[in-house]
Amino acid sequence: MEPVLTIALAGNPNAGKTTLFNHLTGARQHVGNYPGITVEQKEGCCLHQGRGVRVVDLPGTYSLTAYSVEELVARDFLVNEQPDVVVDVVDASNLERNLYLSCQFLELGVPLVIALNMIDVAEKRGVTIDAEALSSRLGVPVVPIIARSGKGVDRLLDAVLATAASARPHPVFLRYGSDIDQALTDMTDDIAACTELTAVYPQRWLGVKLLENDEQIVRKTLEAHPEAGKKLIARCESVGQHLQHTLGVYPEAVIADHRYGYIKSIIHQGVVHRKFVADRLYASDKIDKVVTHRILGPLIMAGVLYCLYTFTFSYSSVPVEWLEKFFALLSTGVDTLLPDGPFKSMLISGVIDGVGGVLGFVPIIMFMFFGIALLEDSGYLARVAFMMDRIFHFFGLHGSSVMPFIISGGIAGGCAVPGVMAARTLRSPKERLATLLTVPFMNCGAKLPVLTLLIGAFFSAHQARYMFLSTLAAWLIALCVAKLLRLTLLKGASTPFVMELPPYRFPTLKGLFIHTWERTWQYIKKAGTVILGISILIWAMMTYPELPEARVAHYDSLRQEARQTLAVDTEGLAAALAKIDTDKAQDGLRHSIGGRIGLALEGVSRYAGIDWRTNIALVGGFAAKEVIVSTLGTAYSLGEVDPEETTSLQERLDKDPNWNPVVALAVLAFIMFYSPCFVTVVCIARESGSWKWAAFSMLFNTVFAFILAVAIYQIGILLYPR
């Protein structure tokens, strides 16, 4: 049996790389992350002519510079892992630009096969491409394919096997104009001295990268060969100055120009034939005339986003309910089967509630990713970014940040977990991080019962107005904090908005399902384990240490007493017993670690007018924001409070001397902006690739929310003294 071949799929974003990957590997694929960074690593396998082929999907890039992680990942993979063949997926309807990347593969000297994708689209546009002529000019096999239908894929794999069997090619020798060429010749000896690098990279390629001022190569050269490196850098700088002086351009611009020159010289020699003059109005342009229209565009966008939102959160509520019912049934089952005790309590409140909490998000995430995949694959998402960029860019974000914001609760009632995960569509690291850290400020569905409770209790006359204002406040604060972060911690120039508006396409169902499933599975697998652990921890905090025996005995004696005195009055007895139980629960909560934290924090929280009972509820809210309502219920000895039915708690708060509209407003602000729930925190850690940012979001948001709450309370009591 011959060894398994490794092929790498490379190409521009939107060239159909993923479609080809899905076609080749079907369900036999595996998604992971490159260690330490958040670029997805997709791998799969297929069989051709009895030969096993391992297919690695490289991130889509336009170039092989060292600017983005995607490009570095792709380049390092090609250099370090030395795949047997690189399949370069090229969009036939956009040949010239796509060949810019192909040209860089040729310069790097990797074994290349070009998959000329979407020839059907090109033909519809009146462009025919002579694949054989292109192949002979480039010196590599060129196979026309239609990845969507799988046409030509067998021939592509034939070419791959043939290329793998032949010798590794030499890097293609390109000319970059007299100045650069002269410099490259001068640098030959010094580059040859850098033996550690020439063992891995082709010599001339190293010279070109040094002239392009490629960060990674410059650093590596200086580290491994400081002496030769310094000489080389000096030579590059002198060329740069000379070019600036004479032509007013950078060396990298000259190199790019010559690459395009090479490409033009190839495709203009009878490779591309146009049946009719270019730039007729394509179907895509016609759609864009309406969809990105000045007035209609934003209206359509609002409609589409609203539909996505309804689709995600309304339709997913049915499976969410099934899951909730299932876990409720499980709880009841465990409750009746097992004897009372700490194990049962942990199983129900820690494990089942924890797992239920994790899985409860699954339908939402699935629906949301399906919706996003639909918008992304069809090309509409890029138009949304295009239309919204002006506003988001002002706050240091990117047009693509709009999706995560909307999903997290930009329209009240979203969820930050899928919102954080939706930030994946952002390709610019700083804007992405700023988005990740600010989307939890939005009013997610779990905050709504708490907001409704407080607004209903203290501002019932203007309920709708306050709910609307809270949504506006969330947007305002989130965007302003994003701006603040981008001016301080995430300082730096914004990532260029040089972005492609891909032509509209009908997404393939297979692609949509694969997309949806792989992301959902990643969530279940990765978040699941951590979340279960934290859930048990929070349960323990709210349960231990248990009441001392003397207190338990005290409540037992109270019950005895009640039974004796109210023996005849059954209704009165039940009420009295329930009262004792809730008092005991309150006492127990107060005695637990969580309760002690709440009490200890009162010293600080009173500056915002918040008492220890609310503190406990806020600590509990870290598990999930809707827990705030039920914990408040226990803390006010009201027993279990259903978050959907809070009238008793509302009345209780309204009468409580510790509460008044000013306190309510301060608490409202605090709840809206303090630490995200831990499921979100875990997701932030996953998506940012570091627990540091997760910890930051907990700490920063809590401090920020506290300052805001203190400000509201202090100004409030000045204006409305009791």
Partner 1 sequence: MTIVNLRTMAINQSGTIVAVKVGGELGRRIREMGLVPGTEITIKQRAPLNDPVALRVMGGTLTLRNNEADYIEVEVAS
Note the residues at the interface with partner 1 (CB under 8 A).
Answer: 62-63, 65, 67, 93-97, 100-101, 125, 127, 248-250, 252-253, 256-257, 260, 278-279, 284-285, 288-289, 292, 294-295, 297-298, 382, 386-387, 389-391, 393, 399, 493, 495-503
| Cβ 333 to partner 1 shortest distance, Å | 56
Beta strands at 272-274 and 127-129: parallel, antiparallel or unpaired: antiparallel
Minimum distance between the CB of residue 263 and partner 1, rounded to whole angstroms?
A: 10
Q: How far is the CB of 260 from partner 1 (least distance, A)?
A: 5
Which 3 state secondary structure label does DSSP give 550? helix
Q: What's the closest the beta carbon of residue 301 comes to partner 1, in angstroms?
A: 9
By beta-carbon proximity to partner 1, the closer residue of 219 and 563 is 219
- Which residues make Cβ contacts (< 8 Å) with residue 439, sequence separation at least 6? 404, 405, 407, 408, 416, 419, 420, 423, 478
Residue nearer to partner 1 on the CB measure, 94 or 605 = 94
Query: Which is nearer to partner 1, 382 or 628 (by Cβ)?
Result: 382
Cβ closest to partner 1, residue 230 vs residue 274: 274
The H or E element that residue 55 is part of is strand 51-57
Cβ closer to partner 1: 268 or 563? 268
- Comparing CB distances to partner 1, the nearer of 209 and 686 is 209
Whole-number minimum distance, CB 144 to partner 1, in Å?
17
The type of residue at 257 is: D
| Helix (H) / strand (E) containing 27 | none
CB of 219 to partner 1, least distance (A): 16
Which residues pair with residue 128 across a beta bridge?
Answer: 273
Nearest to partner 1 of 199, 493 (CB atom): 493
Of 90 and 671, nearer to partner 1 (C-beta) is: 90
Do residues 675 and 697 make contact, with C-beta atoms less than 8 angstroms apart?
yes
CB of residue 174 vs partner 1: minimum separation in angstroms? 15
Phi, psi dihedral angles at 241 (to 5 degrees):
-65, -40
What is the SS3 assignment for 441-479? HCCECCHHHHHHHHHHHHCHHHHHHHHHHHHHHHHHHHH
Reduced to 3 states (helix: H, G, I; strand: E, B; else coil), residue 565 is helix
Instruction: Please report how close the Cβ of residue 120 comes to partner 1 at its closest, in angstroms.
Output: 15
Residue number with CB closer to partner 1 (397 or 623): 397
- Find the shortest distance in angstroms from Cβ 60 to partner 1: 12
Other CB atoms within a 10 A radius of the CB of residue 74 amount to 23
- Give the span between the Cα atoms of 659 and 655, in whole angstroms: 8
CB of 478 to partner 1, least distance (A): 20
Cα–Cα distances in Å, from 507 out to 366, 371, 512? 17, 11, 7
The dihedral over CA atoms of 523, 528, 529, 532, expressed in degrees to the nearest 10, equals 150
Residue 545 in contact with residue 591, Cβ under 8 Å? yes
- Reading the block at residue 403, the tokens are 């999706």
Coil vs helix vs strand at 700: helix
Q: CB-wise, 501 or 597, nearer to partner 1?
A: 501
**Nearest CA to 297 among 383, 400, 398?**
383
Phi then psi for 310, rounded to 5 degrees?
-65, -45
CA atoms of 160 and 559, how far apart (whole Å)? 81
